[in-house]
Amino acid sequence: MFTAVVPRWVWLFLPLTLSHASTNLFSVEVPKASVSGLYGGSVSLPCTVSKNIDVRQFEVRWYRPSMYITPVLLYKSGQIVETSANKQYLGRVSLLGALEKGDVSLKLDNLMMADEGLYICHVGSDSWYDKGNMSLKIRAVGSTPILSVADAGEGHVNVSCHSHGWLPKPSLNWRDGTGTDLKHVSKDMFTEDSEGLLSVSSWRLVSSSESGWLSCSVALSASNQEMRESRVVPHTQTVADSWKEAFIVVLLILLLFILGFGVYFMLNRKGLICSKKQKKEHAENLIQKCWVFFDTAFHFVSEIQPLNSSVEKEQHEAPTADAPHQSVLKGVDDHQVPEPKVDGAFTAETDSVNPPHVDKKHQEQNKLQTVLTDSQTALKAEWDQMKRFKVNLTIDPEETPQFLMITNQGKSVCCPDLEEVDNDDKIFTLCKEKFSSGKHYWEVKVMERNEDKLSWYVGVASDEAERMYRVPLTPANGFWVLCYDKESEEDCGVYSVNLLMPQQLKTVTKKSSTLGVFLDCDEHTVSFYDADRKSLMYTFTNMKPGRSLYPLISPGIRDRFRITVC
């Protein structure tokens, strides 16, 4: 009788026991496909618990393989525990979902290349646990391509394209002005930097007679959000030819004028001019023609000069489709054509007659004077506004190599002994201040009076840049630098910047004693100015965002003269 009762009690409580056990069982669900995130951005790694179980009293552990003890994030006893977390992820991770509904998704900010790989979502209670694995892929959209044009001879030009900061391997395409894909002979060349990001370079040989646009685009996919494009007109001889033509025309006019004046002078001496009245009229007409000649030549050269500036700027900094060229401070050279003036004696004689062409000349002079005055006023206002962001800098002794000497209370640096330079040392020093946002302006005195400075370097360096002598000072290596090198006694020296290859600034023809540096972290640009003449020398664009930048100066290792931060 008793043995028959036991099975009845077992069958009575068994469903209740199984029901209670089933509430403690759950599974962790993660996506099977890999998750993709953009370099420098944020990404969500989905992870949920089945049956929408409330996990606020559970333990949630996100970790990388072989890093269970130092997890990416640990949630325990109702709060996030930071003491045992991996320091690499502090301040960059958080739980994104509603824990009471079983959502334990992880949000990861400020993505780095080291974040790529496998992640494990582990959820456990007192009686059960489960985990799931997922893979994170990092994508990086690189810089806008830099296009440069060089003469290749025989009626051809070489157009090169360079872009850096891509991941995974991007594709590069050439197109003409009609949008037709162009096949190029040379293969795309890829290089990898210390962070694992890829740079791509390519080139095309085209005819210099082509008049349409040539574009180079680099992309991760077909979407416009992951593509960068630049365009250029493949010409190198247009500016030179224009100046040659202008010079020839002005020279011919001048020769004709001299020839005509000589003929008139000879006829006048031989008495072939009929009367004094006619002589006087001829003299006045000749003087009037002189004014017309100089006025025509002045306007002709004035129209050619803006063409030269615009085309040279277009070759060095090609306009882009997705990143328009920003407005920068424009300088005025001290060799600008002065305002034409009328000789006083001539004005006194002709004021009573008041010919129409003289009134027209006066009106043009007044108009030119008004334009110059307005331009100078706008230039001064813009220059004063830029100097409002001036900062005080101090040279960092810890970033200064031993063969360089700091003087003037941390404001000046020089190379006192040229023989102590080691090829393994860096040849520059950094300032203590660093900038990652906002606008900042400072000046560097690169040459004192009566000094013969042979070389110097001024710019900014990333906090991640290698401090070695043999590392090229290029943007790809974290340097944005303007260089000076005096080649001979006859010229003012060579100013250059390092892109993929050193590029000489041929538009800078006067030696500068004070250099102005304007860093705009928000627009990702750094500009160099001739502070003596308030003129722009060069602007680096498309600087990689999110980096801390230090002011960089170097007195060079070829002379003992110092340079000073102002």
Work out the pLDDT band at 372, boundaries 50, 70, 90: low
**Burial (CB count within 10 angstroms: exposed 0-12, middle 13-18, buried 19+), residue 6:** exposed
Residue 296 has pLDDT above 90, yes or no: no
pLDDT, position 276: 54
Work out the pLDDT band at 356, boundaries 50, 70, 90: low
Region 264-272: what's the mean pLDDT?
A: 70
pLDDT, position 380: 73
Summarised one tens digit per residue, pLDDT across range 512-544 is 899 999 999 988 999 999 998 888 899 998 888
Give whichever of 48-62, 175-189, 323-337, 484-498 has the largest mean pLDDT: 48-62
pLDDT, position 5: 46
pLDDT, position 341: 43
Residue 27 has pLDDT above 90, yes or no: yes
Q: Are 179 and 195 in contact (CB under 8 A)?
A: no
Residue 61 has pLDDT above 90, yes or no: yes
Q: How many CA atoms are closer than 13 Å to the CA of 323, on its beta-carbon side?
A: 20
**Least confident span in 93-97, 131-135, 463-467:** 463-467
Residue 471 has pLDDT above 90, yes or no: no
Summarised one tens digit per residue, pLDDT across range 544-556 is 877 789 999 999 8
Give whichever of 43-57, 172-186, 307-321 has the largest mean pLDDT: 43-57
pLDDT, position 378: 65
pLDDT, position 317: 45
The one-character DSSP state at 418 is G
* 56 CA to centre of own chain: 48
Looking at per-residue confidence, does 307 or 224 come out higher?
224
Residue 332 has pLDDT above 60, yes or no: no
Respond yes or no on whether the N-terminal peptide bond of residue 319 is cis (omega within 30° of 0): no
- Residue with the two structure tokens 């509603």: 98
241 CB neighbour count, 10 Å cutoff: 10
Work out the pLDDT band at 494, boundaries 50, 70, 90: confident
| Beta strand 35-38 pairing with 129-139 | parallel
Residue 369 has pLDDT above 90, yes or no: no
Region 210-214: what's the mean pLDDT?
A: 76
Region 480-508: what's the mean pLDDT?
A: 78
pLDDT, position 290: 57
Instruction: Give the span between the Cα atoms of 85 and 93, in whole angstroms.
Output: 10
Q: Is the dihedral of CA 232, 235, 238, 240 positive or negative?
A: positive
Q: Which two tokens stand for residue 220?
A: 């991760």
User: What is the percent of the chain with per-residue pLDDT over 90, rounded to a whole number?
Assistant: 31
pLDDT, position 367: 63
Looking at per-residue confidence, does 501 or 540 come out higher?
540
* Longest Cα separation, the chain: 163
Instruction: Give the span between the Cα atoms of 218 and 239, in whole angstroms.
Output: 29
> Which H or E run includes 482?
strand 479-485
**Least confident span in 52-61, 236-245, 326-335:** 326-335
User: Residue 202's beta-bridge partner residues?
Assistant: 161
Give whichever of 196-205, 292-301, 312-321 has the largest mean pLDDT: 196-205
For the chain, the 3-state helix, strand and coil shares in percent, each to the nearest 5, are: 30, 30, 40
Spatial CA neighbour of 141 closest among 434, 544, 521, 564:
544
Residue 340 has pLDDT above 50, yes or no: no
pTM of the model: 0.39
Q: Are 511 and 173 in contact (CB under 8 A)?
A: no
Angle between helix 276-316 and 356-386 (nearest 10): 30
Summarised one tens digit per residue, pLDDT across range 391-432 is 999 999 999 988 899 999 999 999 988 777 766 668 899 999
326 CB neighbour count, 10 Å cutoff: 12
Render 129-171 in DSSP notation, one character per residue.
EEEEEEEEEEEB--PPPEEEEEEEETTEEEEEEEEEEEBS--E
Render 280-339 in DSSP notation, one character per residue.
HHHHHHHHHHHHHHHHHHHHHHHHHHHHHHHHHHHHHS--BSSSPPPP-PPP--TTPPPP
Q: Are 86 and 75 in contact (CB under 8 A)?
A: no
**52 to 112, 126, 134: CA distances (angstroms):** 32, 18, 20
pLDDT, position 346: 40
**Least confident span in 333-342, 364-373, 459-468:** 333-342
Q: Are 169 and 213 in contact (CB under 8 A)?
A: no
Residue 345 has pLDDT above 50, yes or no: no
Residue 334 has pLDDT above 80, yes or no: no
282 CB neighbour count, 10 Å cutoff: 15
Instruction: Give the span between the Cα atoms of 509 and 530, in whole angstroms.
Output: 11
Work out the pLDDT band at 389, boundaries 50, 70, 90: very high
Q: Long-range contacts: 303-311, Cβ < 8 Å, 24+?
A: 304/242, 304/243, 304/246, 307/239, 307/242, 308/239, 308/242, 308/243, 309/507, 311/235, 311/238, 311/239
Residue 76 has pLDDT above 70, yes or no: yes
User: What is the percent of the chain with per-residue pLDDT over 70, rounded to a whole number?
Assistant: 70
Region 207-212: what's the mean pLDDT?
A: 72
Q: How many CA atoms are closer than 13 Å to the CA of 238, on its beta-carbon side?
A: 20
Q: Are 227 and 207 in contact (CB under 8 A)?
A: no
Work out the pLDDT band at 364, boundaries 50, 70, 90: low
**Least confident span in 14-23, 218-227, 378-387, 412-421:** 14-23
Spatial CA neighbour of 95 closest among 44, 166, 25, 20:
44
Domains defined for the chain, CATH in brackets: 24-139 (2.60.40.10), 146-232 (2.60.40.10), 390-565 (2.60.120.920)
pLDDT, position 295: 58
pLDDT, position 175: 86
Looking at per-residue confidence, does 110 or 9 come out higher?
110
